[in-house]
Amino acid sequence: MSAEHIRVDVETGASKESVHKIGLNLYAVSVCAKPEQGKANKCVLEVMRRYFSHSARVIKIVSGHHAPRKTILIERSN
């Protein structure tokens, strides 16, 4: 199993959910949810799971739970 950390810049309250790779291990993610009671974080993880659909086994936020810039751990099966 391999693992990597990526940085994610999050825009909340967007009209459309999307993921854009903007650099090596840097992504811009837009989610419809507002940053209330963890709703936006949950949506970020769902959007990232869809983006990495077949290669990621585990995706979780490791830092930035209350900030627009997050560090996400992605574990992939070999």
Question: For all residues of the chain together, what is the average pLDDT?
Answer: 93
What does the pLDDT read at residue 9?
A: 98
In CATH terms, 2-76 corresponds, of 3.30.1200.10, 3.40.50.80, 2.40.30.10, 3.40.50.1370, to 3.30.1200.10
Tell me the C-alpha to C-alpha distance, in Å, between residue 60 and each of 63, 65, 78: 9, 10, 18
Query: pTM for this structure?
Result: 0.90
Give me the count of residues in the chain.
78
Question: Once rounded to an integer, what is the mean pLDDT over residues 22-27?
Answer: 96
Tens-digit pLDDT profile for residues 5-18: 999 999 999 999 99
